[in-house]
Amino acid sequence: MTENNPQVQTRQQIHAAVASVLAAQPIVDMHTHVYPPTFGTPVANAAGAPDPTGLMLWGIDEMLTYHYLVAEVFRVVPATKLPHEQFWKMSKSAQADHIWKHLFVERSPVSEACRGVLTCLSKLGMSPADRSLASWRAWTAKQRPSDYIDKVMQLSNVSRITMTNPVFDDNERARWLRDPQVANDPRFSAVLRIDPILRDFPNASAKLASWGYQASPELSQRTIDETKRFLADWIDRQKAIYLAVSLPPDWRYPIAETGDPAARAGQVMLEKVVLPLCQERNLPFAMMIGSRLKVNPNLGDAGDMVGLSDVQSLTNLLRAFPGNRFFVTMLARENQHELAVAARKFGNLMVFGCWWFVNNPSLINEITRMRMELLGTSFIPQHSDARVLDQLIYKWDHTRTILAEVLTDKYADIAAAGWNVTPEEMQRDVRHLLAGNFEAHLKG
Ligand code: HDL
Ligand code: ZN
């Protein structure tokens, strides 16, 4: 008997309550590559002419040509049979037909990325059993992009979509400069993504110079001031809610004066430009660590790889910058335990997501349990990383299912010790995990 609930809850009762609370909790998705229609869409639709370089990706052909599935189809039909350049010359629908044939029809679609397409189709009301690309394409072409965003947000119960806005991407930058209101859509927040500043400052500084900022590869005070002015201009233009970077597994902090010059430049930019500016503007800095880019350049976006990173470097940075707030996710499964322990040592670190190659049920389950056992509810279990709008549906549906199992077990464990969690307390915990922890760490 407990004072707050006379009956010890059964696991089944707990699971039913947890699943209901999770389904009802609107999610603030803290990292996606999704865009509103104002950034253009290459997808044929009922609202207007497609924009071939548009950034808003959605619909069956974009789902099927997601770079995760490109990587997987080249395992089944290797480049010796279908050369990469021949694949890239195919139309989007021909690429989708190829992927559908080899990964869905001729082999069971059991990979997480394949299963995700099926979940999306099913939730959108198109039965995967039809196995009919033609009817799904016809349905897609009748949709209006902005209404489709509302539909997908309603199906996934995502209340806010956080974008990734790479300022060094020429297509995206041009769209911001052409129309400062381009992201003026209340469903979306912008994030200033600055990888070249930290990964390749010599080339980044040349770009800044061409854009009218007096920066150079030489790490002079003028270069530092002008790079800061560049970032401040873009924070204001985008109304960015945080700054973000993806770093390679061999990122280290600190590195010796005699270290690799490009890495040294990145360190100076981090210490003298990015983190001071984030603190001045009260903005968190998101570090996504462990991506080794273009290990197979022939695969395009699908050509990046994971590598083991160094958590001690992160703890060195956290200790050196106690006035900054950090969101961190790491790409290697083997880094997850040390990262969770680091979060126990530094309150300015908010661990988030099961990123990219660990965004699979078996690893989401393992990582989420480990984090909850070490951090309670003081972490952000997931971000979707959706590149195609529809993916919000599957990435969150699959995560909610796993989160329900994990929370049920943890609540059942404490119920066995006499602590029954009420539905109101479950709702409070789930709000922290799916929205509140992110919003609180944004504000500080
Ligand atoms: O750097 C990133 O934000 C990564 O998420 C990459 O975009 C990666 O290609 C990806 O889509 N992962 O899910
Ligand atoms: Zn991403």
pLDDT tens, position by position, 394-426: 999 999 999 999 999 999 999 999 999 999 999
CA distance 159 to 268: 37
Verify whether ligand 1 is closer than 6 Å to residue 156 (CB atom): no
Domains along the sequence of the chain with CATH: 11-37+145-191+283-443 (3.20.20.140)
Ligand 1, atom nearest to 195 Cα:
1
pLDDT at 123: 98
Question: Of 291, 309, 352, which is best to mutate to test ligand 1, by the most ligand atoms within 8 angstroms of its C-beta?
Answer: 291
Verify whether ligand 1 is closer than 6 Å to residue 385 (CB atom): yes
Mean pLDDT of the chain: 97
Q: What is the gyration radius of the CA atoms in the chain, in angstroms?
A: 23
Verify whether ligand 1 is closer than 6 Å to residue 387 (CB atom): yes
Ligand 1, atom nearest to 359 Cα:
13
pLDDT at 229 over 60: yes
Ligand 1, atom nearest to 302 Cα:
9
pLDDT at 257: 85
Do the Cβ atoms of 391 and 116 come closer than 8 Å? yes
Question: Of 296, 304, 329, which is best to mutate to test ligand 1, by the most ligand atoms within 8 angstroms of its C-beta?
Answer: 304
| Closest-CA residue to 46 (of 188, 146, 136, 123) | 146
pLDDT at 3: 53
The Å distance, Cα 393 to ligand 1 centre, comes to 18
Confidence band of 2 (pLDDT split at 50, 70, 90): very low
pLDDT at 121 over 60: yes
Verify whether ligand 1 is closer than 6 Å to residue 246 (CB atom): yes
pLDDT at 1 over 90: no
For 92, the token pair is 């989007």
Average pLDDT of the segment spanning 76-81: 98
CA distance 352 to 342: 13
Ligand closest in space to the Cα of 306: 1
pLDDT digits (tens, 9 = 90+) for 44-66: 999 999 999 999 999 999 999 99
Between 339 and 132, whose confidence is greater? 339
Residue 378 CB coordination number (10 Å): 18
Which residue type sits at 74?
F
Do the Cβ atoms of 377 and 429 come closer than 8 Å? yes
Residue 39 CB coordination number (10 Å): 24
Could you tell me the CA-to-CA distances from 334 to 167, 308, 311, 406 in Å, in that order?
A: 31, 7, 11, 20
Per-residue buried b or exposed e for 15-31, using 16+ beta carbons within 10 Å of the residue's own CB: bebbbebbeebebbbbb
Percent of the chain with pLDDT over 70: 98
Q: Mapped to the 3 state alphabet, what secondary structure does the chain carry? A: CECCECCCCCHHHHHHHHHHHHHHCCEEECCCCCCCHHHCCCCCCCCCCCCCCCCCCCCHHHHHCCHHHHHHHHHHCCCCCCCHHHHHHCCHHHHHHHHHHHHHHCCCCCCHHHHHHHHHHHHHCCCHHHCCHHHHHHHHHCCCHHHHHHHHHHHHCEEEEECCEECCCHHHHHHHHHCCCCCCCCCEECCEECHHHHHCHHHHHHHHHHCCCCCCCCCCHHHHHHHHHHHHHHHHHHCCCCEEEEECCCCCCCCCCCCCHHHHHHHHHHHHHHHHHHHHCCCCEEEEECEECCCCHHHHHHHCEECCCCHHHHHHHHHHCCCCCEEEEECCHHHHHHHHHHHHHCCCEEEECCCHHHCCHHHHHHHHHHHHHHHCCCCECCCCCCCCCCHHHHHHHHHHHHHHHHHHHHHHHHHHCCCCCCHHHHHHHHHHHHHHHHHHHHHC
pLDDT digits (tens, 9 = 90+) for 287-323: 999 999 999 999 999 999 999 999 999 999 999 999 9
Verify whether ligand 1 is closer than 6 Å to residue 356 (CB atom): yes
Ligand closest in space to the Cα of 391: 1
The Å distance, Cα 214 to ligand 1 centre, comes to 31
Confidence band of 259 (pLDDT split at 50, 70, 90): confident
The Å distance, Cα 120 to ligand 2 centre, comes to 19
The Å distance, Cα 308 to ligand 1 centre, comes to 17
Pairing mode, strands 291-292 and 305-306: antiparallel
The Å distance, Cα 157 to ligand 1 centre, comes to 22
pLDDT at 4: 53
The Å distance, Cα 214 to ligand 2 centre, comes to 30
Verify whether ligand 1 is closer than 6 Å to residue 245 (CB atom): no
